[in-house]
Structure 1
Amino acid sequence: MQERSSVGELVKQLRRELDRYSPGGKLPSSRALVERFRVSPVTVSRALAQLAAEGLVVTRPGAGAFRAQPRATAAPAGDTSWQELALSADGALDLVPRTVDASGVTVSLAAPQPGVIEFNGGYLHPSLQPERAMAAALSRAGRRPGAWGRPPLDGLQELREWFARSIGGPGGAVTAGVLITAGGQSALTTALRALAPPGAPVLVESPTYPGMLAIARASGLRPVPVPVDADGVKPALLADAFRATGARVFVCQPLFQNPTGAVLAPDRRAAVLRIAREAGAFVVEDDFVRRLVHEDAGPLPPPLAADDADGVVVHVGSLTKATSPSFRVSALAARGPVLERLRAIQVVDTFFVPRPLQEAAVELVGSPAWPRHLRALSAELKTRRDVMTTALRRDLPELALPHIPSGGYHLWLRLPDGADESALTAAALRAGVAITPGRPYFSAEPPAAHVRLSFAAVGGTAEITEGVRRLRTACDEVL
């Protein structure tokens, strides 16, 4: 019997026998299952991983497999059918219908079932987070005079100065143009609401971050794709898109672009700024992973905002990716009259970022632990990237890896022609590994099927190797 069919038969048999065990009850050991069903240890491991992915069992390293607790049954609901009419009655009045679709975001936010390897995560694994440094910073922050009072609406002066120095620009740091915001997603939402009215087109890289596409669509904007290659967005196509659409906003990630990992080439940086200026448009620069540079990267280019004297760039920088998903501190930076509109929307939406969190950010980035953390993170991300790249080339050569980034936390792979990325995503989950399909990264029809694999959300290099092995099983099933 082939390995794949053996796994399927064992899964069926174990599924039938689960009622023998109470919730939380321990299943027979892997050795016992090997002897009883006369299968290999690999078959047992894969069968348990599939049951874990289905939420039927929980695997605990060193302890074994246990029947999962039953999911709570929802109480009978009232009749909410009236909401369908209420939520759609005004749709005819919208120039561009607003669609609130969080699926492209939740795929990297939702924690997978126990036993499933997380290649779809968008944040650092706890082992990579500076937990002790953050805890110490928060403790010190809580003792600062006035730490629990109301902060300045623009944010703490110390924190704004720190972000301003990291951005740089003509004339040095311009603290007056920096607003502290509650994470990069909040900053992007404020920027798009400030710069484009409902119904307007907004130019976006293709592919690009699904969370930004969701913001645009929820605001009634119309994302228009501009293709990128290994050197970032293509200036000629960007100019064509501005002329064709009359757009006044272009959203880009010049450094380690999500998902391709591309860095905007030096000769294209000036071209992007010039093209936007000639179009009378803003460039929203999402500089989200500047602090996730790999150890082998050369000198990083400065933010686009550092080369902008005319107020073209609205810059978004964040601490979240390099710390923790709950450390939601970021900054918006801009020049000129647009700053007042950004400030007004920021205040209306959120009032201000909680002062204790801002104080903790000041303590963290000013401590000796911060540069130590960044150095250790840089080395570990390179190691993980190399382990994943090696495993993919060895075990999955049919998945094309056109670019290996020197920063960020993921790889972008093209599937063979005709491949079904949804089927592969589902098969991967059955095999015990969660991956991110490529479709949500495109605002229009994608040129090919892709998947994105994160190497930062897992526990270590052993999990990366095992995850690629499980992905091989999924590819054998559907490709």
Structure 2
Amino acid sequence: MYERSSVAELAESLRSELDRYSIGGKLPSSRALVERFRVSPVTVSRALTLLAAEGLVVTRPGAGAFRARPRTPAPASGDTSWQEVALSADAAAELVPRSVDASGVLVSLAAPSTGVIELNGGYLHPSLQPERAMAAALARAGRRPGAWGRPPVEGLPELRDWFAREIGGAVTAADVIVTAGGQSALTTALRALAPPGAPVLVESPTYPGLLAIARASGCRPVPVPADADGVRPDLLAAAFEATGARVFVCQPLFQNPTGAVLAPGRRPEVMRIARAAGAFVVEDDYARSLAHEDAGPLPAPLAADDPDGVVVHVRSLTKVTSASLRVGAVSARGPVLDRLRAIQVVDSFFVPRPLQETALELVGAPAWPRHLRSVAAELRHRRETLAGALGRSLPGLTLPHLPSGGLQLWARLPEGVEESAFVTAALRAGVAVAPGRPYFSAEPPGPYARLAFGAVAGPGELTEAARRLAAALA
């Protein structure tokens, strides 16, 4: 059974039985619970921790778990309706009213209900994560001298150097700032480059988290259509001229959600157009470590071929490891680096040193390249499994592009199928999918869905998901 489901189910069973014990009464031992419910000791420990957090039990090391004394009822909540006025009072004075909406991001972060196949996930399933390697790296990091000391605000020099080597070209450690994951790096970049009210050019469709960052900053995301070869240079040039934008955010490698790779002939064109407009290109290189086994040689990051400091590069370790290993980097050259550093310091001071030390231990371990090879092979297998299953079960559903990297397929729904109705019917059939609408900053050209294959337990679930989706459409 999937661990997350086991913990919830065991906690619910124990919760329903608490009335059998008096206040302060001892619950059965962990060994007894393991034997009775046929779960692992880790599941028992996590379930008891969950009940302790709810104030239902008290755990005492070496003694066991005991029923807790009921908590005093919380006082009645006050009247918070005044906040509606306070939070909207300044909106009239803003050129582009800020909109803090995380719904598009929460779709990929929400835990699915028991029995639901998670095709809306944004991270690797635990079975694909390097859990042993991460645990070993964390243990080694904890033994490093000064592991709990304050790191440099830009990040550990050795970790910055690793990110610089990964980017390549003339990028050095001095050009890199360690951030708390890719989302934090994107937020820092947009705050540094685009003042409130400014237009920000984005690919269409694009990652909902980017649109949320832009709108929360009071910026106006302007869509630039992309095709199977990435963003269209002619429309990018027209967008710069029409809006006067000074920032273009893109994912040149395995774009989310389409999986497209910016074509070789378009790479210099994008750079030339941005340079002529006096604009920055924010390169979100989120999927470089998620290339599939058949991807072939990968193009270098745009930042590696950028002598003029046009590119602000964003990279993260999170996607290919764990959602909780929030270590990323933003790199730039020229005066903009000072602004990026200042915003990073104001926002969070620095990334905790134990996390940086763990990341450094992980990428330097012999297990790291083995993990990358394993993920590449498994993602290719899952992509082929899901695409084949969809082709057999849902012939009316179209896959405009079959990616060679990333965690998802971008699907055009059959004619006459309403997007929200499809998502609802899919969930009712036991499959969670991400609707396409949040990936567009303007009116979408049709109904789409993002179908992720990285967050499920195995290929068998992908075949079953296709069968359920076909039943939902029927």
Identify which of 240, 243, 246 aligns with 1:245. 243
Identify which of 292, 295, 298 aligns with 2:296. 298
Tell me by how many angstroms 1:281 deviates.
0.0
Corresponding letter in the other structure for 1:180: V
Q: Distance in 2 between matches of 1:225 and 1:156?
A: 37
Q: Distance in 1 between matches of 2:14 and 2:325?
A: 39
Corresponding letter in the other structure for 1:403: H
- Residue aligned with 1:453, SS: strand
Does the aligned pair in 1 maintain the 2:267–2:302 contact within 8 Å?
Answer: yes
Q: Distance in 2 between matches of 1:466 and 1:432?
A: 10
Identify which of 315, 327, 330 aligns with 1:332. 330
Q: CA deviation digits over 1:67-114, x for unaligned, max 9? A: xx9x99998532111110011011111110000000000000010111
Corresponding letter in the other structure for 1:127: S
Give the corresponding residue for 2:284: 286
Does the aligned pair in 2 maintain the 1:283–1:314 contact within 8 Å?
Answer: yes
Tell me by how many angstroms 1:474 deviates.
1.1
Q: What percentage of residue pairs aligned between the two structures are identical?
A: 74
Does the aligned pair in 2 maintain the 1:161–1:173 contact within 8 Å?
Answer: no
Q: Distance in 2 between matches of 1:207 and 1:412?
A: 10
Q: 1:75 to 1:453 in 2, by over 3 A?
A: farther
- Residue aligned with 1:188, SS: helix
Task: Provide the aligned C-alpha RMSD in A.
Answer: 1.9
Q: Distance in 2 between matches of 1:24 and 1:392?
A: 41
Q: CA deviation digits over 1:380-435, x for unaligned, max 9? A: 00011110011000000101011110000100000123321111111111111100
Give the corresponding residue for 1:105: 105
Give the corresponding residue for 1:183: 181
Question: What count of residue pairs does the alignment treat as equivalent?
Answer: 412
1:141 aligns with 2:147: no
1:410 aligns with 2:386: no
Q: CA deviation digits over 1:310-335, x for unaligned, max 9? A: 00000000000000000000000000
Q: 1:312 to 1:86 in 2, by over 3 A?
A: same
So what's the TM-score if we normalise by structure 2?
A: 0.85
- Residue aligned with 1:474, SS: helix
Corresponding letter in the other structure for 1:145: P
Q: Distance in 1 between matches of 2:15 and 2:161?
A: 54
Does the aligned pair in 1 maintain the 2:142–2:354 contact within 8 Å?
Answer: yes
Does the aligned pair in 1 maintain the 2:171–2:304 contact within 8 Å?
Answer: no
Give the corresponding residue for 1:201: 199
Within-5 A mapping of 1:383-422: 383-422=381-420
Give the corresponding residue for 2:431: 433
Does the aligned pair in 2 maintain the 1:121–1:456 contact within 8 Å?
Answer: yes
So what's the TM-score if we normalise by structure 1?
A: 0.84
Corresponding letter in the other structure for 1:104: G
Q: Distance in 1 between matches of 2:416 and 2:85?
A: 39
Corresponding letter in the other structure for 2:98: R
Q: Distance in 2 between matches of 1:369 and 1:75?
A: 52
Identify which of 238, 243, 258 aligns with 2:256. 258
Identify which of 206, 213, 216 aligns with 1:215. 213
Q: Distance in 2 between matches of 1:174 and 1:356?
A: 23
Q: Distance in 1 between matches of 2:266 and 2:136?
A: 42
Q: 1:75 to 1:324 in 2, by over 3 A?
A: farther
Q: Distance in 2 between matches of 1:255 and 1:402?
A: 17
Corresponding letter in the other structure for 2:446: A
Q: Distance in 2 between matches of 1:173 and 1:165?
A: 7
Identify which of 221, 224, 235 aligns with 2:222. 224
Q: 1:386 to 1:76 in 2, by over 3 A?
A: farther
Q: Distance in 1 between matches of 2:404 and 2:470?
A: 25
Give the corresponding residue for 2:79: 79
Identify which of 356, 371, 381 aligns with 1:373. 371
Q: Distance in 2 between matches of 1:167 and 1:332?
A: 11
Q: Distance in 2 between matches of 1:284 and 1:150?
A: 29
Tell me by how many angstroms 1:300 deviates.
0.2
Identify which of 355, 360, 363 aligns with 2:361. 363
Corresponding letter in the other structure for 1:162: W
Moved over 4 A (4+): 21-25, 71-76
